[in-house]
Structure 1
Amino acid sequence: MASFQYKGARGGKPCAGTIEAPDRRQAIALLAGQGIQLQQLDEEADSSGSGSGGGLSLRLGGAKKIKPRDITILTRQFATLLEAGFPLARALEFVSRQQSAGPMAEMVADLSTSIQQGQDFSQALSGYPNYFGNIFLSMVRAGETGGILDAMLVRLAEMREADEALADRFKSAMTYPAMMMAAMVIALGVMFAYVVPQFATMFEDMGRALPGPTQILLNAGDFAATWWPAVVAGVVVAGASFKAWVKTESGAFQWDRTRLELPGLGNFMAQFAIARLARTAGTLLESGVNLVDAFASAGEVSGNRYISHIMQRALAEVRHGKPLATALADAPVIPVLLREMIALGEESGQVGPMMQRVAEVYDRQTREAVSGITSIIEPFMVLFMGGVVGMVVIALLLPIFEMSTGGV
């Protein structure tokens, strides 16, 4: 028997624990029988049961976990092979042979074995909830039922690729400011650690009254030299506390709401979340998922708990017969374009295509926003860094200038 640690939800409430089962699939079946919607399942490191390949935690030989981008590539490979006429079992065998040793190879080999044993593809994928979530499984099941698995995998690949491209644009917008800020902190650290102390010694030997800016700088240098361990510890504790708070349900909700209210950046984050929501909802609706389930799932993957909460609240009204566009009429954060396109889609029965158009609009806006943010931030950061370093240099040289001009 193997021991598995699991995380999931039962009756809408989070739950976690340990369960013993002969292998991974039976552990999943046992948890499903208990009404647990599984989110994560890992075999304990000291477990004595070997199970099948699927019973492993995908950390073989100390290998890293499979990345989301790897799953996207795998999905695209499956879609391409199925479109080319490969049977699913043969496609899995082909992809399995292309994988080098590691967790991905173990997973694909296990999926191939499951298909050969007669399992449905969705059933085999459900053994890896860390990598194939509810949306992925729902679309695969819809493809299996309708005989269009290849088309569904194409849609999944396109959706994941678009989401990753959007996330990459967001990261690129944030990377440059972070690097510039780090460079400034390092430059100031070097100056306070090596340059300022030397000037301080020289000024003491001069025995002259120092200008105000210079005295402030030296006091700051003394404070940094004396209290830097406490400052660093304080920053670390504050960062760890913030990270722990954000991981809580209430903390994540409040932080996501606050992010949307940030001047300038909040609008960009809202566009990013709405683009993901609209694309996911559109893909699910076009795959045959009903409107309530499609938007409920889309809200969860939007990347923002506050937007997800707004969507869930609106869907509660939809379940009582109100149109979604009407339920979202007074909802904060939700843009007018999204509401109007939902209304048009509900009138024409084409909500899915309308959501894809909304996603395209906000994709374009995020691209433009990234370009705009980058073009503004680059010169601003250069000027800011130059100004800060320049003020430090001026404060250090001011007494020397006064001496050279005969000042007292």
Structure 2
Amino acid sequence: MAIFNYVATSADGKKTDKGTVNANDEKAALEALKRRGLKPLSVTEAKKGFSFESLLKNNSVKSDDLVIFTRQLSAMVGAGVPLLRSLGSLEQHSESEPLRKILTAVIGDVEGGMALADALEKHPKTFSDVYVNMVRAGETAGILDEILNRLAIQQEKNASIRKKVKGAMTYPTVLLVITILAFFGLMLFVIPQIGNIIKSIAGPDAELPLITKMMLGFSDFILSPLGFLAIAAMIGGVIALLRYIKTPKGKKIFHTIVLKLPAIKTVIQKVIVARFARTFSALSGAGVSIIETMTVTSHALGNVVYEESLLNAVDKVKNGEQLSKVLEEDGLYPAIVSQMLSVGEETGQTDTVLVKVAEFYEEEVDTAINSLSSIIEPVMIVVMGSIVGLIAASVMGPIAGLSNQIH
């Protein structure tokens, strides 16, 4: 797929528009512009090259934009509007440039005879396995509008959980960054100056409090070549650790450790269980097979330990075991999940039962996040205050002593 620069006028010819459009060739670019209600004046393929604009621009589709697209497509298809016309209208009126580019490509593929699910599957960064499989099931069963509506609900719930988790971590993270910056700022610029003042007044052989000696010694170390090497090594170590965590082995170790951390493990487990129940119910309700549902759901959990557990359960279910029994023996899931799943298996309403489980754990996530925030925030404030107090004591002690000597 190439990028084309275009100059076009509005349908009434009163307004001239310039921009770019993604298309397979010039003909497809012209068709895409016509679907937007524009009259092309010129279309030329853009030359590829480095630009700061492309470097800074975010080319990913926001979750809110994807939810709006899914809901609108569901409404239009449900109202009897043909699929291609629906996609064309949404592409034309979308305010998201990344989504508009993807829809241009999707429309081209669907026009070429490709199923919608297959066209969406070519854009995995935007449309997940869950999304694609549910759309495929909806197309097969002829209930695409209903499936898209379920997808929109699921996306909204998942986005809500992500926002709450990020929101809960934002304030403590900001406090931590401010504390670190303030500490090193004092060590690099303030403490050395105060140390020089104290030594110039009291003399180089003056007896200073232990805490002051420690602060001055640490400040001198940071400013020394060895100190800079130590800081560089620490930064390099953090970068190496973050890169290692992205490897399959590192990610598994990290996810295992996270599930053992006090307080945090409770929140993580509830988020995963809510995601499992919501995704599984959506796929199951769409008519996707149990094996495919388990496989796709495992990749949507966001934790390697749970992902491997559910993938291992696939073989057991293939051999005739009930999923509720397998999850009960696994020990990763709360008892209520296997119990409710067992009820769903007996009544044939697994999707309905798991929706209730998802709703319950989504509320539990809210409670757990609020509880965690109420613990983390005061702790961070105490830590920040302690560091500032320690530095203040190391500085004010000698100054007070010198003041008494002068008097």
TM class by shorter-chain length?
0.7 to 0.9
Residue 101 and residue 373 in structure 1: after superposition, are their counterparts in 2 closer, same or farther (change >3 A)?
A: closer
Aligned equivalent of 1:65: 59
Q: Where do 4+ consecutive residues of structure 1 move more than 6 Å?
A: none
Aligned equivalent of 1:229: 228
Q: Does 1:135 align with 2:130?
A: yes
Partner of 2:301: helix, strand, or coil?
coil
How far did residue 278 of structure 1 move?
A: 1.1
User: Deviation string for 1:224-272 (max 9, x for gaps)?
Assistant: 1114422332122112211221122111111111111111111111111
Match of 1:111 among 81, 106, 113: 106
Aligned equivalent of 2:268: 269
Aligned equivalent of 1:203: 198
Aligned residue runs from structure 1 range 14-93, under 5 A: 62=54, 63-69=57-63, 70-93=65-88
Aligned equivalent of 2:91: 96
How far did residue 201 of structure 1 move?
A: 0.7
Answer yes or no: is the 8 Å Cα contact 1:278–1:298 preserved in 2.
Answer: no
Aligned equivalent of 1:357: 356
Residue 333 and residue 84 in structure 1: after superposition, are their counterparts in 2 closer, same or farther (change >3 A)?
A: same
Aligned residue runs from structure 1 range 128-207, under 5 A: 128-205=123-200, 206-207=202-203
CA distance in 1 between partners of 2:301 and 2:135 (Å):
20
User: Deviation string for 1:196-236 (max 9, x for gaps)?
Assistant: 01121122221220111111111111111114422332122
Residue 403 and residue 130 in structure 1: after superposition, are their counterparts in 2 closer, same or farther (change >3 A)?
A: closer
CA distance in 2 between partners of 1:388 and 1:109 (Å):
55
Aligned equivalent of 2:248: 249
CA distance in 2 between partners of 1:196 and 1:244 (Å):
35
User: Deviation string for 1:56-103 (max 9, x for gaps)?
Assistant: 99x998353232413333222211222333221221121121135844
Computing the radius of gyration from Cα coordinates, the structure with the larger value is 2
CA distance in 2 between partners of 1:290 and 1:355 (Å):
16
Aligned equivalent of 1:338: 337
* Amino acid in structure 2 at the alignment position of 1:376: I
Aligned equivalent of 2:323: 324
Unmatched 5+ residue regions in structure 1? 4-48
Which stretch has the larger CA shift, 300-309 or 222-231?
222-231
* Amino acid in structure 2 at the alignment position of 1:93: G
Answer yes or no: is the 8 Å Cα contact 2:73–2:87 preserved in 1.
Answer: yes
How far did residue 120 of structure 1 move?
A: 2.4
CA distance in 2 between partners of 1:293 and 1:113 (Å):
28
Answer yes or no: is the 8 Å Cα contact 2:135–2:147 preserved in 1.
Answer: yes
Q: Does 1:290 align with 2:289?
A: yes
How far did residue 288 of structure 1 move?
A: 0.7
CA distance in 1 between partners of 2:96 and 2:115 (Å):
25
Aligned equivalent of 1:397: 396
How far did residue 342 of structure 1 move?
A: 1.4
Partner of 1:128: helix, strand, or coil?
coil
Answer yes or no: is the 8 Å Cα contact 2:61–2:96 preserved in 1.
Answer: no
CA distance in 2 between partners of 1:107 and 1:93 (Å):
12
Partner of 1:330: helix, strand, or coil?
helix
* Amino acid in structure 2 at the alignment position of 1:264: A
* Amino acid in structure 1 at the alignment position of 2:124: P
Answer yes or no: is the 8 Å Cα contact 1:180–1:381 preserved in 2.
Answer: yes
CA distance in 2 between partners of 1:268 and 1:100 (Å):
35
Residue 241 and residue 332 in structure 1: after superposition, are their counterparts in 2 closer, same or farther (change >3 A)?
A: farther
Aligned equivalent of 2:17: none
How far did residue 357 of structure 1 move?
A: 1.3
* Amino acid in structure 2 at the alignment position of 1:220: F
Answer yes or no: is the 8 Å Cα contact 2:284–2:351 preserved in 1.
Answer: yes
Answer yes or no: is the 8 Å Cα contact 1:315–1:327 preserved in 2.
Answer: no
Answer yes or no: is the 8 Å Cα contact 2:61–2:98 preserved in 1.
Answer: no
Q: Alignment length, in residue pairs?
A: 359
Aligned equivalent of 1:20: none
CA distance in 2 between partners of 1:113 and 1:311 (Å):
37
How far did residue 292 of structure 1 move?
A: 2.5
Identity of aligned residues (%): 27
Cα RMSD (Å): 2.6
How far did residue 356 of structure 1 move?
A: 1.2
Partner of 1:303: helix, strand, or coil?
coil
Residue 224 and residue 294 in structure 1: after superposition, are their counterparts in 2 closer, same or farther (change >3 A)?
A: same
